[in-house]
Chain A
Amino acid sequence: AQTVTQSQPEMSVQEAETVTLSCTYDTSESDYYLFWYKQPPSRQMILVIRQEAYKQQNATENRFSVNFQKAAKSFSLKISDSQLGDAAMYFCAYRAPGNTPLVFGKGTRLSVIA
């Protein structure tokens, strides 16, 4: 079974600084999808960024970017110019090809210090 590991239960960052959240996963598939979700105190699950494994180029969405290392099975999220509104739980998730469900990591709670 696929597993997703987030080794940092909690992280903090100063406002306007950059922070990187780590994620590793285990799979025997060659094609798959990876995601980062943000969960603010409202509890809503918000998709931040997605990466298809067949794409070599790292995905970016404004201040959010990933470092996808397929051989190392690593998928880290970098948040640049951190803002107070970035404070949330962040979940890394994996999905195998086909009509399969998401597998989540345990999450990283990010605090942003003004």
Chain B
Amino acid sequence: NAGVTQTPKFQVLKTGQSMTLQCAQDMNHNSMYWYRQDPGMGLRLIYYSASEGTTDKGEVPNGYNVSRLNKREFSLRLESAAPSQTSVYFCASRRGEEAEAFFGQGTRLTVV
């Protein structure tokens, strides 16, 4: 089973460029999440989608947009990348309230 798949795994952007991080899960999970991980900061929630058709802001949403394309896919878009968005990005999904969350392998993004 693939679980949670993120693409790409690595990316270098120039300041001002845009890109979309893709996330797909094959476990029929209802909820999906985007986190960013920075040294000494842990994982901070950017956006989440509790169910297909809904999205909500997390702790650090500025500079990002999301789309829950269908139940499987939840994408994160950077419209105009900034060096402060250099980070490792994790997508996660969960079936329901009692279930554990499953994480993708992460995307290391560098903005120069």
Contacts and interface: CB of A to CB of B under 8 A. Distances in A.
Interface of A: 4, 6, 9, 35, 42-45, 47, 50, 91, 97-99, 101-107
B50 interface: yes
B42 A104 contact: yes
B97 A43 contact: no
Given A106-B40, A106-B42, A99 B105 contact: no
Interface string B90-112: 10100011001101011000000
21 contacts: A4-B42, A6-B42, A9-B40, A43-B88, A43-B105, A43-B106, A44-B105, A91-B42, A97-B97, A99-B30, A99-B31, A99-B51, A99-B96, A101-B33, A101-B58, A102-B33, A102-B92, A103-B45, A104-B35, A104-B44, A107-B40
Contact of B103 (A45, A50, A107): A45
Contacts, number: 48
A36 B30 CA distance: 22
B43 interface: yes
Contact of A44 (B33, B45, B100, B103): B103
- B: contact size bracket: 20 to 34
Interface in B1-41: 30-31, 33, 35, 40-41
B97 A107 contact: no
Nearest to B32: A101
A47 B42 contact: no
Contacts of B31: 99, 101
Nearest to A93: B43
A99 B101 CA distance: 12
A9 to B, nearest CB: 7
A44 B87 CA distance: 15
Interface centre among B35, B42, B97 (most CB of A within 10 A): B42
A45 B51 CA distance: 22
